[in-house]
Amino acid sequence: MGFLIALLVIILIIAFLSIKIVKQSEVYIIERLGKFYKVADAGLTIILPFFDHVRSVVSLKQQTMDVPPQGVITKDNVTITIDTVVFYQITDPAKAVYEIQNLKKGIEYLAVTTIRDIIGKMSLDETFSSRDGINNQLRIVLDEATDRWGCKIDRVEIKDINPPADIRDAMEKEMNAERNKRALILESEAQRQSAITIAEGKKQAAILEAEADKESQIRRAAGEAQAIKEVAEAKAREIQMVYEAMKNANPDDKLVQLKSLEALEEVAKGDANKVFIPFEATSALGSLGAIKEVLKDDNKKKKE
């Protein structure tokens, strides 16, 4: 009875040592007699006790590694501190175990040396404005270097860049000066735009006023021309009516001459500087001169 119990215990121990359950997203590196045997994937795995043993448990998840802050010197001799995070994933568990003694340490050292090399070729201002470029260069270099270790670098992110305190103070002053400069430029531009708008408004107002004055003068001149035309037409109609009346009355020469004188008197009352006398009117004026001389002679005889 005791033998059976001992045998059962030995069987249970062997079964416990032989059966391995691998979790999801993990693999077991199994060695047999000290030599790599196989990679056990997720699920149930049977191994030979005392011959096989689990060398390492490798996670296939994406992992993160926080690289300690490193002091690096820029091209313009400024010492800055850079804090970096590396995202990586193991693609070949066997290489990750057998090709390098400590994968995380290897990635960390590579990241530190690569950061120093990249930042040493850049100025301080470039390190702040080129984070994406630095991240991409780091990822490419680390990915190529860790490929033989069965590791893939997915991303590299720079968390923070800290310059010295005096450099930070100088940068803040420069930033404030630049901000004040932009404010002055914007204010000047606003004033210029306002002056241009006011000038444009005055110009448009002057143009509209000139156009209104021009239109008023044109209309006034048109009205005066129309009035003159109407007066002239009325005078013409009046002359025509007088002419028709005289024509119908069959006037003699004396009457024509008298009417000519009356018309001449009306013309002389006008504002014109020159008066044109018809030919018929001159003969009438001559007759009046002769009558005047006769009247003078008669007066002299009466006095005598």
pLDDT attached to residue 274: 47
Break the chain into its structural domains and give their ranges. Answer: 2-59, 63-163, 190-250, 251-268+275-299
Judge if pTM exceeds 0.75.
Answer: no
pLDDT tens digit sequence for 171-202: 777 777 887 888 888 888 888 888 898 888 88
- CATH architecture designation of domain 63-163: 2-Layer Sandwich (3.30)
pLDDT tens digit sequence for 77-88: 888 889 999 999
Residue showing tokens 């005598």: 304
Print the SS3 string covering 208-229.
HHHHHHHHHHHHHHHHHHHHHH
Per-residue CA distances from 29 to 9, 61, 143, 255 (Å) = 28, 16, 23, 152
